[in-house]
Structure 1
Amino acid sequence: MNLIEIWGYCVEGKHRLLVYEYMEHGSLAENLSSNIALDWEKKFEIAVGTAKGLAYLHEECLEWVLHCDVKPQNILLHSDYQPKVADFGLSKLLNRGELDHSSFSKMRGTRGYMAPEWLYNLPITSKVDVYSYGIVVLEMVTGKSPTGMHSSDSGGAGEHLSVVKLVREKMVTNIGSSNAKESWIEEIIDPSQRVTEKYDSAKMELLVKVALQCVADDKDHRPTMNQVVEMLLRH
């Protein structure tokens, strides 16, 4: 349900062509940068649908698939805004019995969305997709792109620090205040939607807290994508 369908392909000389099903609303990236913003309910459903697609790749396929390039440009939206994960050009296929997931010849992914494991030459598992997913969710909530934010770290994972640090600091700063939940959520949500749209603060808090679990530096502290789906649907 949440993976793009390929209808055909062409290989002729040097020419290569993939034919996907038509996705009326384009990519999530296009929608996030457009003047017509996605409402909060759509954003929540996009987060759930994307998580379902990745969970299928990680745990339900006959062979496990690591996407390795989860970002808004690779999440396409159908006519009803149902999200579908696309672009498997950097993906890695793993046999179910394969324990060593570190057999990557080079780093894969997009700056700002890449997990720390890529930088520190640690074993690569499905948790790299979980990390990237968390960054995408934070981008949807805050309206801040990790690739457009600057950091003193020149590494591939350095640019995400601003958006993750921003959200963590706002949440911690407001703990203990009388209206803690409303205040920290209010301070981090996309400014373009802060005044114009009502939102379910409990649902938004859940979405942000799940995203922060996904971007834990230690991969063992991140949930699986199946656990992410369960946490979001529990609401």
Structure 2
Amino acid sequence: MWKKKLYVKDNLNAFTISRSKIDLFFDCNRCFYLDQKHGIKRPHGTPLVINNFVVNHYKNLINEFRIKQIVYPDSIKIKKKLIPTNLEALNLWNHPFKGISYVHKKTNFKIKATLDDVWQCSETKDFTPIIIKSTSRKKDINAETIWPGYWKQLSLYSYLLSKNSLNMSNTGILIYLNALENNPNTIKKIDFELLIFEKNLDLSWIEPTLEVIFKTLNSNEVPLNHNSCKYCRYQTNIQQVLDGKF
């Protein structure tokens, strides 16, 4: 059975940290520490089977423009002429078990992520990272209601792409496939609206965060329980019951 390598202090081999683990660090550094140093993982959530199917179907539609190397029409909505890139490396970068990576020399971390897509401006030739999400919301989706973590995700993608010698734009693009309410008498068809958002990316948090992660992993002390973490609260409550204090 495959077993993830755990962090070992002063190991000469680069230690792989995925984009999702960086998200975990922001969510709870205690859960991150237990995961990366001791192999104690949070319970897995329910797989988003339908969401993933919708996103993958949309990606297949985009491939038509990638093959022909023509502008994707919906990019005009944000006043850009963007072409889905046909870089050979993209087959590696969007592979879930390979992905794009970069070794951060100061920490000896191999930062890794799986990309959704990369588009290139037909005019400036700059590249832009893309993430695609499927959802179903009755309320309007706008720039103010988008989860900030998506922009952080795009920032890391842009960082990794630039470290892999691509000339990046200073923006990232989020595409929402939002399921609309259909005729309640049928379940044979679901319509989606396509929403596209663009925002300037902030990459300034990445290097300092990697250094804090490095310091955390090299400490022998487990971080304190995170009050806002439901997993930490669950663990604390269980321990209190076992100790007869609950």
Instruction: Please state which band the TM-score falls in when normalised by the shorter chain.
Output: under 0.3
Larger gyration radius, structure 1 or structure 2: 2
Structure 2 length normalisation: TM-score? 0.26
Give the structure with the larger helix fraction.
Answer: 1
